[in-house]
Amino acid sequence: MEKSLLYPRQTASRRVVSMNGMWKFQFDSESTGIASDWENGLPESVSMPVPSSFCDLFTDKDSREYTGDFWYETDFFVPGEWMGNEVLIRFGSATHKARVFVNGLEVGQHVGGFLPFNVRVTEIVRYNQYNKLTVLMNNELSETMIPCGTTKTLSNGKKMSLPYFDFYNYAGLQRPVSLLMLPKETITDFTVNHTLSGKDAVVDYTVTTNGNHEVSVTAKDESGTVVAEASGTKGSLLIKDARLWNVHQSYLYTFTVRIINGNQIIDEYFDRIGIRTFEIQNGHFLLNGNPVYLKGFGRHEDSDIRGRGLDLPTIKRDYECMKWIGANCFRTSHYPYAEEMYYMADEEGFLVIDEVPAVGMMQSVTNFLAANRGNQIKETFFEKETTPQLLEHHKECIREMISRDKNHASVIAWSLLNEPQTTHETSAPYFEEVFSYAKELDVQKRPCTFAVIMMSTPDTCKCWQFCDFVSLNRYYGWYMLGGYQMSDAEEAFRKEMDAWGRIRGDRPFIFTEYGADTYFSEHKLPSVMWSQEYQDEYLDMNHKVFDSYPWVQGELVWNFADFQTTEGIMRANGNKKGIFTRQRQPKDAAYLFKARWENMPVDYKCGK
């Protein structure tokens, strides 16, 4: 039961109580909390909102940059009528490590900061009373877990995070926490796969339970009419004249799963799921058999004050901005997002490339400059003593991501790494295992990819062949040959693309990153780097290159909005490549994209 990643639903048999709110919070810089019995209560706590990142809520730098152990605490009430059922606590995420205690007893652990987990507390809680929940967390980075980085101890004894990635290491209880009541015999998993037959659809399903009673599955359309029924833990639902889920034209069926004993409902679970197929044929992406060109963004969960904490108004604003500009797709760079983001993508008809937190797999704190260092990196990242441990954690994150997100119509592909080191032959076995594992887990057999860094070129990359489609992160005209060298940048860009064209086979290519840092207030005639005029010129050059190659089938600009990074001389209070500001206001480039994307047919470059 603890491994079930079903989204919390309140039904005839299930109860969900939000535990969000103001919790107690305390740093544990000496890691003495356990020895000091903090699991039974924090001695000198401050208030902390959950969900949120703790970092930007403080005004002193030691607190904002804190690295190490820290604690959360809250009290929660368990109703007496829940006795005889299972009681669990579900964490939407806990970044990056968590040990959970209830009434002073440890009830579970989790490693990985971007995916949910449950802890079972049935025998630990006191019914019809308040109970104490404490969580010991740690946000240190290492090379044995993803995202990768390291932790440094300064001369004053304070720890400092050194990420091998270019975004801020926000931490805390950043997603909702819920108290769940489930029946003893329960539905633990539900999986669907779709095939089309003329105007009809066949939905193959699998239900996993922890018991032996009969299982029924019902599908209803958006009007509430039952359109298909079946029984058994495995089976098929035939939906006549199926309304298919499509880009910006979503249609969601409600699938209800029940464990039944005669007329008694033992457990009930439902989910709203769109029926669609997605595949690659002859170098094109096909949604429901029709070509679709991907246009949109790389993104981050990032906003003022909240950091990476779930914020529903920000999510709503983001979708409105993406609809306004004419986008149809985004990548969850560089980690799986909060589940609420995917459910809204289902409702709004957006395509999502879902990315596991495998970023920083190159030993550099400035990976965005790695392209200019080329083969100066001598040591392969995937030939360390710690690599087996890293691989197991990587695979566990893939399992959790696919288990959580597999039924979303919006999720069309899995991105298994971002900008890893691939120029050594020893990288290939690691990639082969990761890709094989993902394909084995996903019954829908979505295409898999990884984002290829600039130093990994057609003649140096040893791993691109594992991709079903190739995703390039390219910065010609910014990190390479920027400014007045733009003409040389375009020439070098085309030279690389010509080389890919000679070896790609029938794989489509997309760009998962391209962009130029730009100040919202900076205008300059003639243009200079960092001005809005230069961002437009840079984008025009890139789009001219994209349009020259029919096998380029998508463009996801970096980034949707400005976002926070670790401080440094290359970053002025964050990454400024956003097409929107961090406050979600358009830069000049937003109007460039709006004009381009609104006039681009959905089947652009389909070859007809």
What residue type is assigned to position 505 of the chain? G
Contacts of 104 (CB under 8 A, 6+ apart): 37, 39, 40, 132
Tokens of 11: 């039904």
Which residues, in sequence order, are bridge partners of residue 194? 203
State the catalytic residue, choosing from 39, 73, 268, 513: 513
From CA 300, how far away is CA 157, in angstroms rounded?
32
Place of tokens 């995070």: 161
Nearest to 117 by CA among 81, 91, 153, 148: 91
Residue 405 near residue 354, CB atoms below 8 Å? yes
Q: Could you say which of 301, 355, 419, 522 is catalytic?
A: 419
Q: CB under 8 Å to 592, separation ≥6 — which residues?
A: 536, 539, 540
Q: Is 567 a catalytic residue?
A: no
Tokens encoding 485 = 């060298």
CB atoms within 10 A of CB 531: 20
Nearest to 173 by CA among 146, 140, 135, 133: 135
User: What are the φ/ψ torsions at residue 132 (nearest 5 degrees)?
Assistant: -105, 125
Q: What three-state secondary structure class fits 74?
A: strand
What's the CA gap between 547 and 413, in Å, rounded?
Answer: 23
> Do 329 and 351 form a contact (C-beta atoms < 8 A)?
yes
Count Cβ neighbours within 10 Å for each residue of 468-498 and write b for 16 or more, e otherwise: bbbbbbbbbbbbbbbeeebeebbeebeebbe
521, exposed or middle or buried, with CB in 10 Å at 0-12, 13-18, 19+?
exposed
- Find tokens 């020893």 and name the residue: 426
What is the number of other CB atoms lying within 10 angstroms of the CB of residue 226? 11
SS3 319: helix
- Residue type at 256? T
Active-site annotation holds for 419: yes
Catalytic residue numbers read 419, 513
